[in-house]
Amino acid sequence: MDTVRLDERLSAIYLEIPAGGVVADIGTDHGKLAVRLASDGFKVIASDVSAASLAKARRLARENGAEKSIDFRVGDGLNVLADGEADTVVISGMGGREIIKIIADKRIPLYVLGAQRDQPLLRRYLISVNRTILSDKTVKCAGRYYSVIASGLGVDRTLSELEIEFGKDFYDDPLFKERAEKEIKRLTRMYDTLLPENTWGRQAAAAETEKYREALKACRLQ
Ligand SMILES: C[S@@+](CC[C@H](N)C(=O)[O-])C[C@H]1O[C@@H](n2cnc3c(N)ncnc32)[C@H](O)[C@@H]1O
């Protein structure tokens, strides 16, 4: 079998998936992760709500000799799975709100979630439905920063507001530090270009800057 090269974002997701179980890639689209997993011997279910997207994944699998090793299913979210069928469910490349709608309160042993936005909302939700956040990494891919959250069953400790905002691993994460420094520069520029009468805009930029400053102060990296 040939293999598919994963970018930094999909590689970070791949690395959170333990060997040995069944992995469902929900919203697989291009299918790169599913095909790579199948090529590496994982049992894979690849699904998408869009038949056209799933056709892309199937084509990639065929080109890489992995079509027979993947169970392709068209459908909405976790409806494509029978109870207990998947050990790990990956949902990535969607917003936190969309991910929350999909995971609802299903008792999946391990979620690996790549939310493109609204990560604080997703973290708060996971904690509220008694899931624990096992790891929460910043990933940089093509100049953009992403979060990859692995969440298991079990009650987590209470997270601080900074941990809800940036993930509980930000203290030791060099990529988070890099991102925070860039964000502070960007927000400061934004603040300076806003007219003084735009008090709402300036207050919002200042509050956001303050959050990043606080997080940087809490970082254990120099
Ligand atoms: C931007 S792509 C992400 C592809 C891939 N997972 C990644 O991370 O690169 C989002 C895919 O999710 C699919 N999708 C959106 N909502 C879905 C749902 N409720 N159930 C299954 N698939 C969904 C879309 O059709 C689309 O193919």
Model pLDDT for residues 189-212, shown as the tens digit of each residue: 999 999 989 999 999 999 999 999
More confident residue, 222 or 161: 161
Tokens 């919002």 sit on residue: 204
Residues in CB range of 1: below 8 A, 6 or more apart: 38, 39, 64, 65, 66, 69
**82 and 110, same domain (yes or no):** yes
Domain of residue 137, residue span: 8-160
**122 and 207, same domain (yes or no):** no
**210 and 132, same domain (yes or no):** no
- Residue 28 beta carbon below 6 angstroms from any ligand 1 atom: yes
Please state the domain count of the chain.
2
Domain membership of residue 166 (yes or no) is no
Nearest CA to ligand 1 atom 7: 93
Residue 1 has pLDDT above 80, yes or no: no
Nearest CA to ligand 1 atom 1: 93
Which pLDDT score is estimated for 3?
79
Gap from CA of 91 to ligand 1 centroid (Å): 8
Gap from CA of 29 to ligand 1 centroid (Å): 6
Cα separation of 173 and 179, whole Å? 10
Banded pLDDT at 155 (limits 50, 70, 90): confident
- Residue 77 beta carbon below 6 angstroms from any ligand 1 atom: yes
Domain membership of residue 2 (yes or no) is no
Banded pLDDT at 105 (limits 50, 70, 90): low
Domain membership of residue 3 (yes or no) is no
Residue 126 has pLDDT above 80, yes or no: yes
Residue 42 has pLDDT above 60, yes or no: yes
Q: Tell which one of 48, 58, 99 to mutate to probe ligand 1, the residue whose CB is within 8 A of the most ligand atoms.
A: 48
> Can you state the angle between helices 32-39 and 51-63, rounded to 10 degrees?
40
